[in-house]
Structure 1
Amino acid sequence: MSIMSDPTTLDGMVRPAKRNDLEGLTPTHRAEQSGATEAVLVEPEAEDMVQLRARVARLEAQALPRPADQAAATMVSGRFRSTGAGTQLELRVDVDGPRPLMRISGDFFQTSGATTNYVGSFVVETLTAAVTEGLVKLTGRGRFSFPVLSSHVEVSIVRGTDVAHTPGEATVQFSTDGGSPSASYLCAFVSPHFRSVQLEQDSVTGTVPFVSYDTGSLAQPPSSPARVLSVPAAYAEAGIEVQIAGAPDVVPAGAAGADARWNDAELHNAMVNHFSLWRDVPRWQVWQLVASSYVEDGVRGIMFDAGGAFQRQGCAVFHDAIKGEDPASQRAQLRTYVHELGHAFNLLHSWQKDLAEPPQPLGPNGGLGDLSWMNYVQNFQPPPPAPGGTAAYWAAFPFQFTDSELVHLRHGFHRDVIMGGNPFGVGAAEVDVDLFDDPVVDNSGLALELRSNRTFRFGEPVVVEIKLATTDLRGRSTHGRLHPNDGFVTVAIRTPSGETRTYRPPLIRCADHEHRTVLDADRPAIYESAYVGYGKDGFYFQQPGQYQLRAQYNASDGSRVVSGIHRLTVRRPLTEADEDVAELMMSGDEQGTLFYLLGSRAESLESGNRALDQVLDQYAEHPLAVYPRMVKGFGVSRDFKDLTPGKELRIRHANTEESIGQLGKVVESSAGDEGVDNITLGQVMRRLARVEAKAGNPQRATQVMDEMVEIFDRKNLKPHVMRDIRSEAERTKEEITRR
């Protein structure tokens, strides 16, 4: 059971001291604690603690010091919890059992009335062990999430005498480096798991939720024993208990018609309104939706709850991309389910760990060589000449997390792991543009470039074009994932005030299918357009002045390709209308979310939609009105799926007439040198063509595609770019005629 959901079972005897806690301590302690925060004993020792201390002392007399790794087979690992009143401690001991990490850690909580609040955490990463027949004593210096003087930690655990060798009670003593004790308390054994989380899983009609996979069904490394793994079983091997919360609900999808695809806006709306266990606080509870498919092909899953104050409480897997009853499909489903839940625990992709807080060392070949649930199968690439790719991954994957991921899951500070705690990848924003230094040697044969307008109006959504080109016209093969949403491109932004932040998209999608692109003389470059004005940290361009941007691309072979520094300027508002429009477009997270999602009819974003409507009502001729028009045009162009409180799927159908009107005005405003950028304009026109077809105007739809080619012809784009535009136009026409 979650410690946050059952405060009556939590108790303890220590808490961080404030100045009024210094009374009653010895003069030595008062001198040590002056001006500091300290874990101190705030209540007299109970009789059971006194008796246990006497027993521990007798057992210690028989103890012989041993290295911590020789504590194996002592059977004392697991989770312990203090009893009593006041401050409570959850203690985790990790010195034996499967894959012991030789660490102890813990979290402090404070009870006041009927409430329990988190106080802080600690971890001891280097241990000394003394073992006897009846006692295990572990000592070491702790690292704390808050300042302390008594950083020395000593844990004494009475070894179990029952048949199952269940650990007995544990005493925990804090003391200063000089040996002066400060706090001690008694913890009872609770569970062999280091943490417990409740999983609520709903599924859409027509999907078949994954149950289990026998790892012996297909070839696997000899060191990995064959066993049947479900999602809870996979996490149990990592020391994490995943409890299925109640009976899974089935979401009817009959009203969805042919379009059973879920977009970001619909998933966002479902998360906010229909996770029955959801609370606007950190909790060991997570929701997973088994949906049909995503709007973009190849996306297997998404951790969509990556915005707002309380993140990482929901994710989705897309059945159509991973379905199948054969062993290979079942194996892929297991990996996808475990992978997406890993993001909810705040685990980053294998190649992104250096952007975490604190930064984690990358595994082999920049992380692409990790044999982990958090790597992409097709992108697995150990250092050459070892083979990479899907077959090599499955031949070597032991169905487990890496050691560094286990450290995070078992011993990460409470807020860094619990759902609704610290934001996903917290700390990744506090970087410097110099993080992406030019490599000393670059034989990648690739070049990355950021491009955009040189100046933006205040409040204008900042969109950058990301270009990946080959410098070797003999040809280079890599993946074509250039959008920051996919996790292979990271953009650093230095503001006019000198602060440097990393752009972090609100939603994390896992497009982990094979997506190879060959860049050569015929196609020397590929392009992507990315809105980087709003992300998980809010709006990034809120002050006038000059900004510096630099990007890094993680290639398929592990190469890290860095762009030059791109400079852009946000101009000051010149008129009162400029100020009003900027305020309406940037006054809240809801507007930023709408720009990111390209529109949504979610009730949770109603005030943001009202603000954009006000721009169109009062400032229709303002140059920035093109952006609310685009958002509104996209938003009403698609059917919107809404999960009701009764778990029924309600479809709000598209308003094709309004969409055609809004998107048509966007095209008019952008056909010349003003309006949206070229890549976005192409996206708008392809959507306009599909809406025309949906409205029963197939001839007009094909005309829109012809107009798109004509508009870009007049812009004098490069031949290979025009070739791609013509190809996109023909594909869209074929799609329209097939309907």
Structure 2
Amino acid sequence: MSGIVEGRYAGAFQPGGLTVEARIGRSHDGRLENLSGDVFAGLRHVLSFIGRAGALSESTDGGLSGMVSFFSAQTLHHNGSPITVSPNRQAADGSTSISLTLDPGEGEITVELEWAGPELRSLRIDIDGLSGLPEPDTSLLDGDQDGQDLVAVLKRASISSTVHPSPFRPDASGRKRHTMAELHALMQDWSPPPQQDNRQWRLHVLFANRFDGRNGDDVTGIMYDVEPGMRPSRQGLAVFLNSNTIKGCEPANGPDWRREVSFTLVHEIGHALNLPHAFEDGRPEALTWMNYPDRTANGVAGFWSQFQGAFDSTELAFLRHAPFCDIAPGQYDYAQRDSGLLSGGGFSAFRAACHHEAAPQPAKAVLAIAPLKPVYAFGEPIFLKASVTNNGRRPLDVAKALDPSDGFLSIQIRSPHGKVRRIRPPAMLCQRTPGITLRHRQSVSFDGILASFDAEGPIFDAPGRYQIDATFTGVAGVTLASKPAFLRVLHPSRAEEIFAISIWDDPQLMRAIYCRQPLLALDSWQCLVEETARALSVDQGNTSLSYLKYISAMGWLSSFAPASRTKKYLPRKRKAASHLSVIETRGLPSGVRLRRDELLLR
């Protein structure tokens, strides 16, 4: 059978001005794997289509036919359509012209598409780094003689990539550790991503020092998506060259160092393309870039001895055929997916095949999730506590990673109206996961899970009773499931409602609160603290004012300056202490009290 050549095809449909990109994928033995594509009006994405499993066929003359499903961020008239793809001609170099027909909702259209290359996707990667750090050899990015460079790795996933490194340069603030807010500021100053919908995929990579956050020294990389509900999303990532794991593999550019840097870089690029950790998707032993070597059953040595430097088949199907909004940087926020090609998608035709139920609860390990208080004022910051307890006689090894951004804990919230939503953190970490061995009746817990909002925006935005459920994959071989927990949000006073919506209507302000850095939204912050918050009634049970004071203190404890500015804000511990001294810590995470006492007792 002479089939249509595998690859990407592109063309324009006239007179409507629509452009179409189609992807024909084949397995190693030449059989049709799937077909997919995207339709654009200028730079604006209109819809994507993916062949339905079992509904595609290939004729003896090389034509394809069957049914495709439609996906779009916009309202669609139809959820799918019949499709036919016919080969027109084959050039001497093997390239092909095809004719594609489908009905996007207003009648059939036929478009002629020309072969555009063997890879199904394309990606531009801009790279910056901080001077004083060891610079990765260019062969790590492109041109490695053994084919282990970044460009070759992505090519094996059918992604054509171009890498554009810039000379490493100084950070004017002199920071040795970087928060998510500071990383985002560096990206915006040095290599700002496009603000509009853009068909060209682009990522920014920063080789930085160390992460300023939980488990900071063990974090080797981060993909940050820290502007709730706004674009750009999933376009910035960092690799921390002085993290314990990478630093411990020196000399720089030696085999072990290259392995760790490459793994972190590809892992975070996978997150930027909206891939979850393999263990989040029900594949804890997968030998893929998206797993943690230290969390597999065979351990680090066993993982590296078997790892082939590739994504697994589930991830490859997503990378090759996922709809534009699901995968393209700058589109959907992290973990928001319509197609269901991976767990968490919303399309019912795929949901059953991709949904992974939690394993039965093992009797000797218990996961618990609970709010810090049973009742909250409207707009009050809501924190959750997660804990794992060993009820068995034998020691239990547990990942000390009880925040959703670590990738092991998944939290779902059911609203008073029945809407179920998974907390989606604005960043994903790549780290050598810290572990702890629990003895009989011993527990590990974390009570600093900020649940008020996530990458999608506010969560507890209506009064009523909420149900909280969680699963945890940080115990080898099992998925722990919690019993439901509940909290109630009270009906608001006028001042409480104004306070809440002033935060929820300002994505920059939500980002400042999440990152605990008021300077990210200074004008909005000053208005919130000095005007809006003052109108709140004196309620000893409402932690809103105390938490704002805490964030103000955190802002004064660290330097902050975008890289392009000569002026920077230096730490002022006395200013921080003045905020901390008036905080009432009841109802807030234990870390707030510890931080307050630590500073005030100095």
Under a length normalisation based on structure 1, what TM-score does the superposition of the two structures give?
0.70
- What's 2:125 paired with? 199
- What's 1:596 paired with? 514
The question of whether the paired residues in 2 share the 8 Å contact of 1:157 and 1:167 is answered with no
Return 5+ residue gaps in structure 1 as ranges. Answer: 1-65, 216-224, 354-365, 382-387, 690-699, 702-739
- What's 1:122 paired with? 49
Distance in 2 separating the partners of 1:509 and 1:613: 35
Secondary structure of 1:151's counterpart equals strand
Which residue of 465, 469, 483 corresponds with 2:389?
469
Give the AA of the match of 1:89: V
Which digits, 9 at most, give the CA deviation of each residue in 1:322-374, with x for residues without a partner?
Answer: 24332112111111101111111111111223xxxxxxxxxxxx311111111
**2:223 is the counterpart of 1:303:** yes
Secondary structure of 1:465's counterpart equals strand
The question of whether the paired residues in 2 share the 8 Å contact of 1:380 and 1:393 is answered with yes
Secondary structure of 1:279's counterpart equals coil
- What's 2:313 paired with? 403
Q: Larger relative CO (CA 8 A, sep 6+): 1 or 2?
A: 2
The question of whether the paired residues in 1 share the 8 Å contact of 2:121 and 2:160 is answered with yes
The question of whether the paired residues in 1 share the 8 Å contact of 2:8 and 2:119 is answered with yes
The question of whether the paired residues in 1 share the 8 Å contact of 2:408 and 2:472 is answered with yes
Secondary structure of 1:94's counterpart equals strand
Distance in 2 separating the partners of 1:536 and 1:528: 20
Give the AA of the match of 1:198: R
- What's 2:555 paired with? 635
Which residue of 587, 594, 599 corresponds with 1:682?
594
Which is worse superposed, 657-666 or 467-476?
Answer: 467-476
**2:581 is the counterpart of 1:664:** yes
- What's 1:482 paired with? 402
Which residue of 366, 376, 379 corresponds with 1:459?
379
Distance in 2 separating the partners of 1:158 and 1:436: 44
Going from structure 1 to structure 2, the CA distance change for 1:232 and 1:557 (only over 3 Å counts) comes to: same
Identity of aligned residues (%): 22
Distance in 2 separating the partners of 1:678 and 1:175: 57
Shift of 1:522: 7.8
Distance in 2 separating the partners of 1:380 and 1:661: 47
Which digits, 9 at most, give the CA deviation of each residue in 1:71-97, with x for residues without a partner?
Answer: 6xx681111111463222112122267
Which residue of 529, 546, 570 corresponds with 1:653?
570
- What's 2:9 paired with? 80
Which is worse superposed, 286-295 or 270-279?
Answer: 270-279
Give the AA of the match of 1:77: E
Going from structure 1 to structure 2, the CA distance change for 1:415 and 1:675 (only over 3 Å counts) comes to: closer
Going from structure 1 to structure 2, the CA distance change for 1:208 and 1:442 (only over 3 Å counts) comes to: same
Residue correspondence of structure 1 range 46-445 to structure 2 within 5 A: 66=1, 76-83=5-12, 85=14, 86-95=17-26, 102-110=33-41, 115-124=42-51, 125-126=53-54, 127-130=56-59, 136-145=62-71, 146=76, 147=78, 150-156=81-87, 158-161=89-92, 165-174=93-102, 182-211=108-137, 227-245=146-164, 247-253=165-171, 255-256=173-174, 259-282=175-198, 283-295=200-212, 296-306=216-226, 307-310=228-231, 311-321=233-243, 322-323=246-247, 324=250, 325=252, 326-353=254-281, 366-381=282-297, 388-427=298-337, 428=344, 439-440=359-360, 442-443=362-363, 445=365
Residue correspondence of structure 1 range 706-717 to structure 2 within 5 A: none
Going from structure 1 to structure 2, the CA distance change for 1:272 and 1:343 (only over 3 Å counts) comes to: same
Residue correspondence of structure 1 range 566-577 to structure 2 within 5 A: 566-574=485-493, 576-577=494-495
The question of whether the paired residues in 1 share the 8 Å contact of 2:181 and 2:515 is answered with yes
Shift of 1:558: 3.3
Distance in 2 separating the partners of 1:208 and 1:454: 50
Going from structure 1 to structure 2, the CA distance change for 1:438 and 1:408 (only over 3 Å counts) comes to: closer
Secondary structure of 1:228's counterpart equals coil
- What's 1:545 paired with? 464
The question of whether the paired residues in 2 share the 8 Å contact of 1:80 and 1:190 is answered with yes
Which is worse superposed, 436-445 or 410-419?
Answer: 436-445
Give the AA of the match of 1:486: D
**2:539 is the counterpart of 1:610:** no
Return 5+ residue gaps in structure 2 as ranges. Answer: 338-343, 348-354
Shift of 1:302: 0.9
Shift of 1:562: 1.2
Going from structure 1 to structure 2, the CA distance change for 1:237 and 1:249 (only over 3 Å counts) comes to: same
Distance in 2 separating the partners of 1:649 and 1:98: 58
Q: Would you tell me which structure has more helix in proportion to its own residues?
A: 1
The question of whether the paired residues in 2 share the 8 Å contact of 1:450 and 1:564 is answered with no
Kindly report the root-mean-square deviation, in angstroms, between the aligned alpha carbons of the 2 structures: 3.1
Secondary structure of 2:436's counterpart equals strand
Give the AA of the match of 1:536: A
Which digits, 9 at most, give the CA deviation of each residue in 1:610-646, with x for residues without a partner?
Answer: 31233566669665311111111111111114221xx
**2:479 is the counterpart of 1:560:** yes
Going from structure 1 to structure 2, the CA distance change for 1:243 and 1:417 (only over 3 Å counts) comes to: same
The question of whether the paired residues in 2 share the 8 Å contact of 1:140 and 1:154 is answered with no
Going from structure 1 to structure 2, the CA distance change for 1:150 and 1:542 (only over 3 Å counts) comes to: closer
Which digits, 9 at most, give the CA deviation of each residue in 1:538-576, with x for residues without a partner?
Answer: 1111222211111111124131111111111112235x5
Distance in 2 separating the partners of 1:638 and 1:620: 31
The question of whether the paired residues in 2 share the 8 Å contact of 1:303 and 1:507 is answered with yes
The question of whether the paired residues in 1 share the 8 Å contact of 2:209 and 2:242 is answered with yes
Secondary structure of 1:407's counterpart equals helix
The question of whether the paired residues in 1 share the 8 Å contact of 2:37 and 2:49 is answered with yes
Distance in 2 separating the partners of 1:488 and 1:104: 33
The question of whether the paired residues in 2 share the 8 Å contact of 1:491 and 1:502 is answered with yes
Give the AA of the match of 2:331: G
Shift of 1:457: 1.6
Distance in 1 separating the partners of 2:390 and 2:101: 60
**2:419 is the counterpart of 1:499:** yes
- What's 2:351 paired with? none
Which digits, 9 at most, give the CA deviation of each residue in 1:17-52, with x for residues without a partner?
Answer: xxxxxxxxxxxxxxxxxxxxxxxxxxxxxxxxxxxx
Q: Between Structure 1 and Structure 2, how many residues are aligned?
A: 561
Give the AA of the match of 1:76: V
The question of whether the paired residues in 1 share the 8 Å contact of 2:222 and 2:239 is answered with yes
Give the AA of the match of 2:113: C
Residue correspondence of structure 1 range 3-22 to structure 2 within 5 A: none
Under a length normalisation based on structure 2, what TM-score does the superposition of the two structures give?
0.85
Distance in 1 separating the partners of 2:509 and 2:172: 32
Which digits, 9 at most, give the CA deviation of each residue in 1:231-267, with x for residues without a partner?
Answer: 122101111011124x5143303651xx510012212
Going from structure 1 to structure 2, the CA distance change for 1:117 and 1:525 (only over 3 Å counts) comes to: closer
- What's 2:341 paired with? none
